[in-house]
Structure 1
Amino acid sequence: MKFLLDLLFRVLQLFTEPYFLLFLAVVIIALLKRENKRKKLRIGIGISVVLIIIFIGNGFLGKLISGYLQNSYIKTSEINKTAAQKPVIVVLGGGVVDISNTEKLHTMSYSRIVTAYQLYHEFQEKNIPCKIIISGKGRGHTSEAELFSENFKKMGVPDSDIIKEDKSMNTYQNAKFSSPIVKKMAPTNVYLVTSGFHMKRSVALFQIFGLKPIPLASDFIDTEITVFPNSYKCCIYFCYA
């Protein structure tokens, strides 16, 4: 079952790639032309692709999707932290950038670090033992887990409270590889820290692997609807996807 889910996730991930979708549209049009299919059908597909790009680029779909993905996680202050006696905080990696052969965390990663640390610090002040699990390998030479760990240590989190899961390459694997670690620790509460747009599918995937994490969104993204499309809003849409 889990193998099929892994395969399905990889297939769906392919259909969120903009270059693949454009390539697929070109191939379909070319095949229809070769088979002498109706010209109107080819034109219809072409217009559909253009309209999709326009609606993505002007922020309409981004606005719609951001509300669906994020609205449930805006009121993070209402999370019950007093009942936790053996909490675990799972932080998902936010990407690594390579600039001049120097690997640094992606911008959104820092909001996740700050949010996780704030929660960790609250537990420390109440003398409640807490562990932080950092999940993510990323595509660089240095894993996201290692880079996150370095930042947490600079903020005063001891190495004994940090657990690095450095094999996962995507959200599905975040849940797959982190869940066994969490289950062995048998915590009373599991807090999941990631970006608002990323939270809904993250929670769903962790539930598949038998966990019921408490969502704690670290940041939110919004788009404005404009007359003319731009590349930034296209990037935001595919980031949601």
Structure 2
Amino acid sequence: MKFLLDLLFRTIQLFTEPYFLVFLAVVIIALLRRKNKRKNLRIGIGIVAVLMIIFIGNGFLGKFTAEYLQKSYVNTIANKNGASQNPVIVVLGGGVVDFNHTEKLHTLSYSRLVTAYQLYHEYRKNNLPCKIVISGKGRGHTSEAELFSENFKNMGVPDADIIKEDKSMNTYENAKYSSKILKQMAPSDVYLVTSGFHMKRSVALFQTFGVKPVPQASDFIDTEITWFPNSYNAAFTFVMLKEVLGIWQVQLYNSLGLNG
């Protein structure tokens, strides 16, 4: 059953790809024309496709989606008082890019790096212990966890305070493998650092594996309402729509007992 649902969600995910939507509209119109179907139907499909492009490119859909994904995390502030005696910060990788044969963290990762370090520094300056768990393998030769670790050490974080989870290839595995590490550590608090648009799904998955993290969003994305559609609005809207679909998938799988 899980295999069929995975296949279903992968198919649905195609509808969050702009090129696929354009291709689908062109194919349908071409088939209808070839079969001499009504001209009005072809025109109607073309109008729907244009309206979708306008609605997405103008930023309207992106505004609603951004609020749904990120509103809950805008004002989240970590509790850095003495009550947390054994906190752990979990940082989720944002990808690796290979530029000119040199592997570097994706641009999304740097806001997560800074947010995690700021939180870590607040504890350490008050002489409170704090560990950082870096979660992510990525698809490069060097893992995201290793690249994060190098940056953290350059910022002054001792190696003893860094724990690398370098097996996970996606958010589901981030939660699965990190939760095993966290259960061995028995932290007083778990702070989860990732991008705002990615936080809702990440929190849901960590909760699935028995971890109730405190969300610490590192960055936020939004669209801008414009008269004319633009690629900026379209790109971020499609990114967020994929997250919404991912959240629905997590919720469905949890209700069916397929996660874990």
TM-score range, shorter chain: 0.7 to 0.9
* Residue number in structure 2 paired with 1:141: 141
Percent of aligned pairs sharing the same letter: 77
* Residue number in structure 2 paired with 1:46: 46
Q: Structure 1 6/91 Cα, relative in aligned 2: closer, same or farther at 3 Å? A: farther
In structure 2, C-alpha distance between the alignment counterparts of 1:34 and 1:84, rounded to whole Å = 68
* Residue number in structure 1 paired with 2:254: none
In structure 1, C-alpha distance between the alignment counterparts of 2:5 and 2:130, rounded to whole Å = 31
* Residue number in structure 2 paired with 1:123: 123
Q: Which segment is superposed worse, 210-219 or 160-169?
A: 160-169
* Residue number in structure 1 paired with 2:79: 80
Paired residues of 2:137 and 2:168 also in contact (CA < 8 A): yes
Q: Structure 1 210/99 Cα, relative in aligned 2: closer, same or farther at 3 Å? A: same
Return the letter of the residue paired with 1:145: A
In structure 1, C-alpha distance between the alignment counterparts of 2:4 and 2:132, rounded to whole Å = 30
In structure 1, C-alpha distance between the alignment counterparts of 2:216 and 2:195, rounded to whole Å = 8
* Aligned positions, number: 240
Q: Structure 1 19/179 Cα, relative in aligned 2: closer, same or farther at 3 Å? A: farther
Paired residues of 2:223 and 2:237 also in contact (CA < 8 A): no
* Residue number in structure 2 paired with 1:222: 222
Q: Which segment is superposed worse, 53-62 or 148-157?
A: 53-62
In structure 2, C-alpha distance between the alignment counterparts of 1:6 and 1:211, rounded to whole Å = 24
Q: State the SS of the aligned residue for 1:187.
A: coil
Unaligned runs of 5+ in 1: none
In structure 2, C-alpha distance between the alignment counterparts of 1:195 and 1:10, rounded to whole Å = 23
Q: State the SS of the aligned residue for 2:108.
A: helix
Q: Structure 1 34/165 Cα, relative in aligned 2: closer, same or farther at 3 Å? A: farther
Return the letter of the residue paired with 1:80: N
Per-residue Cα deviation, 1:102-150 (whole angstroms, up to 9, x for no partner): 2221222111111101111112123322211111222222221111111
Per-residue Cα deviation, 1:58-113 (whole angstroms, up to 9, x for no partner): 21222221122112111133x32322222111111112222222222122211111
Q: State the SS of the aligned residue for 2:104.
A: strand
Paired residues of 1:6 and 1:172 also in contact (CA < 8 A): no
Unaligned runs of 5+ in 2: 242-260
C-alpha root-mean-square deviation of aligned residues, in Å? 2.4
Paired residues of 1:9 and 1:172 also in contact (CA < 8 A): no
1:41 Cα deviation after fit? 3.5
TM-score w.r.t. the length of structure 2 is 0.81
Structure 1 residue 110 corresponds to structure 2 residue 138: no
